[in-house]
Amino acid sequence: MKSVLVLTRAEAWQQTAIEALRQAVEADGGSIATAVPADLICPLTFNLPDVEFPGQAVFQACCDFDGMRDRVRKFDYGIGSGSHWLPIVHTAKGTLYGEVITTVADAYQQPLHLSDRLRQPLYALGQILMRELAAPPSVYLLQFGLADHAVVFDRLWPFPAAPAIASIGVQLPNLYECHWKCLSHQAIVDLAIAGSADYKTVS
């Protein structure tokens, strides 16, 4: 049985995230802790103590927002602020993409359906970043905007940050369940959206 250490900054959204992670970990026979010792470290914040964990180099790269934007510029993507997030579920066996999360009336909502014209370059950027960073299994959120009918890169979150809460009760498995499966090297066959979900569309 594995124990998991979750690192947070005690922000309100993180309590919801921890509860979703707790359910996924305990359903798999593990336990979740707020202090060491632990077999796995599961950061949900950039503000980390001096602790080593797999993926530390990726966290440091993602913390360097300007450096990450310079990397992305080399691949001919625009840079700008964004209020949309592409979930990248990067498993040991491959990468799955969730439906985009957006903001609606000061809340996060999934799914936002993008046209192929927008979705394909977004997926391509996700693949580039996973390869460039030699990213370990995890759930990543690629934050982006839309300018002149094109995708512009904002930043990459190397963990299911606050917007991922929108997936709870909407995406199966939700992004916190996916995160646990990635960290524990379990297979994820598919990502599905509940039939009752309210779709928004951008073409």
Global confidence as pTM:
0.83
Rounded to 5°, angle at Cα 156 from 51 and 98: 110
Domain that holds residue 110: 54-202
Number of domains forming the structure of the chain:
1
- In a domain, residue 192? The reply is yes
- In a domain, residue 129? The reply is yes
The rounded percent of the chain whose pLDDT value lies above 70 is: 88
Residue that has been written with the tokens 């049985």 in this structure: 1
pLDDT tens digit sequence for 8-35:
666 778 778 888 888 888 888 887 765 5
Of 77, 97, 75, whose CA–CA distance to 87 is shortest?
Answer: 97
Residue 130: pLDDT band (50, 70, 90) is very high
Mean pLDDT in residue range 109-119:
94
- In a domain, residue 139? The reply is yes
Is the per-residue pLDDT at 106 higher than 90? Answer: no
The rounded distance, in Å, linking the Cα atoms of 27 and 43 is: 20
Is the per-residue pLDDT at 59 higher than 60? Answer: yes
Is the per-residue pLDDT at 195 higher than 80? Answer: no
Of 75, 45, 50, whose CA–CA distance to 153 is shortest?
Answer: 75
- In a domain, residue 59? The reply is yes
The CATH number given to whatever domain includes residue 136 is 3.30.470.20
Is the per-residue pLDDT at 38 higher than 60? Answer: no
The H-or-E segment that residue 99 falls in is none
Is the per-residue pLDDT at 36 higher than 50? Answer: no
